[in-house]
Chains A and B, each alone.
Chain A
Amino acid sequence: TQLLEQSPQFLSIQEGENLTVYCNSSSVFSSLQWYRQEPGEGPVLLVTVVTGGEVKKLKRLTFQFGDARKDSSLHITAAQPGDTGLYLCAGAWTDKLIFGTGTRLQVFP
């Protein structure tokens, strides 16, 4: 069974702080996606990274795909309460998309 471990599992921070969420596996993925799920809704795609070492930015969010395509990170600069939610990574492996264990982020004003 392929497993994508995310860390930390839970994160509570104050508005304005920076944070990094990690997504790690022993498997190589052809691409990796990040989703955000807000309370009461389904996950929504934020970004897809495809090339090893690729970095993508989405406003205050920076996504990086590891050189070996086994891991990824999501960095949020100056977090805001609107960033609160569950962050899920998902790796494309053979013919499937495997979801990570999730990081629940709470940003307090």
Chain B
Amino acid sequence: ETGVTQTPRHLVMGMTNKKSLKCEQHLGHNAMYWYKQSAKKPLELMFVYSLEERVENNSVPSRFSPECPNSSHLFLHLHTLQPEDSALYLCASSQERRNTQYFGPGTRLTVL
């Protein structure tokens, strides 16, 4: 596989469930990102990992917990979500933070 992959592509979960989103990049990049994209709202940066260390956490509620076990993989662990957390969650990677970001196709999350 090439580029940035995300699984699952679609996820429906109840407010009491625990689930995880997975992102994998095959580009050899050293920075990875989680974004939230809601309808009719700008792209919201959630977390940034650079060289496997979290370098940015933009006031994201603790019900979202990121994990970066190595430079190729990024997870977003979800628990006790709210219906307003329903959105498209995009993962991206780049070589250095100021360079072009390559996005995965996203996970469409619906919280019931």
Q: Which residues of A contact B (CB under 8 A)?
A: 30-31, 33, 37, 40-45, 48, 88, 90, 92-97, 99-102, 104
Contacts and interface: CB of A to CB of B under 8 A. Distances in A.
B59 to A, nearest CB: 11
Interface of B: 4, 40, 42-43, 45, 90, 92, 94, 96-106, 108
Contact of A92 (B42, B45, B98): B98
A33 to B, nearest CB: 6
A102 B108 CA distance: 19
Nearest to A41: B105
B98 A96 contact: yes
- Where chain B touches its partner, the secondary structure class is loop
Contact of A41 (B43, B97, B100, B106): B106
Contacts, number: 50
Given A99-B43, A101-B42, A42 B104 contact: yes
Given A93-B98, A97-B97, A104-B40, 15 more contacts: A37-B103, A40-B106, A40-B108, A42-B103, A43-B90, A43-B103, A45-B102, A88-B43, A92-B98, A95-B97, A96-B98, A97-B100, A97-B101, A99-B42, A102-B42
Contacts of B96: 95
Nearest to B108: A40
A42 B90 contact: yes
A84 to B, nearest CB: 16
B98 A102 contact: no
Nearest to B55: A95
